[in-house]
Structure formats: structure tokens, C-alpha cells
Amino acid sequence: MGETAGPLAQAHHRLEVETRGAGFVEITRPVAAWTREIGAGEGLLTLFLRHTSASLTIQENADPDVVADLTDALARLAPANAGYRHSVEGPDDMPAHIKAMLTGVSLSIPVLGGAPVLGTWQGIFLIEHRARAHRRSVLLHYVGTTTR
């Protein structure tokens, strides 16, 4: 157990995610589809978000009230119009930076049998912290065995 069955391979991909404004966008399916597409076996998948006003998280994907409550909690932690010095990009920008710092921009997920290993109720989410829609870029990097 835990031994590598052959030489390690690497693969990378840029996943473009359209957001509709502040909120959670589940990206579990496209991430899992990519690991199948590359013939991933056993290894490690890293996701990295190239933005400072959005973030990534693994969270419950069964009850939509969970992400609604989390969105509300983040708004309480970093409210708009709280007198921030950085306000050039609008009242939602500095709170977005704070929320991204609190939740993070990278994830590491084990891959077994070609699929990301997540719990029964876990999903991978991009969290948009800005009020308006954005196109966000998530870099996926897999290191491990492949079936090809």
C-alpha cells in the first residue's frame, strides 16, 4: 500500500470558470472529468487559483443552505464599507481580498483510481468574492501514475 506502480507522470490544465458574482461555484465535475481524461491513476492533484479576490474550498455539496450560510458568514467577517484604506476598485474589493486570504487559493487532493478522493458530501468550489461576474482561471496540476 502506498507504493508507486510505475514512473510518475505530470499533467496540467487551465480550467476557466465563469462566475455570476458573489457566491460559490461547484467545480467538482470538471475537475474529476479532467483526471479521467488524462488517465490519472494514483497521485496528487493540486488546484491553484490565480486571483486575489476569489478563492477555493472543499465544502459540503449536498445542502445548498450550507454554502448560503457560509456566504453570509464571510460577509459578516469582512463587510463592505467598513472604512478600508484600499477602495480604488470599489467597496467589495478589499472585503474580497480578506475573504480570499481567509479561505485560500490552493487545494491538494489525493487521486486514487483516477478520481479525486473526496468525502461523500464534499465538493470542490470556487468562491467568487466580488459583486460582479468574473472569468476565473484555476490551474490543475496532477503528479502521479497514469493508465496510459
| CATH number, residue 66 | 2.60.120.460
- Quote the number of domains for the chain: 1
Whether residue 125 has pLDDT greater than 60:
yes
Q: Does 3 or 10 have the greater pLDDT score? A: 10
Mean local confidence (pLDDT), 88-113: 96
Separation CA 39–CA 60 (nearest Å): 27
120 within a domain of the structure (yes/no): yes
2 within a domain of the structure (yes/no): no
* In 26-137, alpha helices (H): 28-37, 64-77, 93-103
Separation CA 102–CA 115 (nearest Å): 27
Whether residue 2 has pLDDT greater than 60:
no
pLDDT on residue 87: 87
pLDDT on residue 7: 86
Q: Give the predicted TM-score (pTM) of the model.
A: 0.93
Whether residue 112 has pLDDT greater than 70:
yes
Name which of 30, 64, 54 is nearest 133 in CA terms.
54
121 within a domain of the structure (yes/no): yes
Tell me which residue range forms the domain holding 98: 9-142
Residue 121 banded pLDDT, cuts 50, 70, 90:
very high
pLDDT on residue 11: 98
Whether residue 24 has pLDDT greater than 80:
yes
Check the CA dihedral 30-17-75-46 and report its sign: positive
- As a whole-number percent, the residues of the chain with pLDDT over 90 amount to 92
Separation CA 56–CA 105 (nearest Å): 5
pLDDT on residue 148: 81
Q: Please provide the average confidence, as pLDDT, over all residues in the chain.
A: 95
Whether residue 86 has pLDDT greater than 80:
yes
Bridge partners, residue 70, by sequence = none
34 within a domain of the structure (yes/no): yes
Q: Hey, what's the cell of 103?
A: 479561505
4 within a domain of the structure (yes/no): no
Q: Hey, what's the cell of 15?
A: 480550467
58 within a domain of the structure (yes/no): yes
132 within a domain of the structure (yes/no): yes
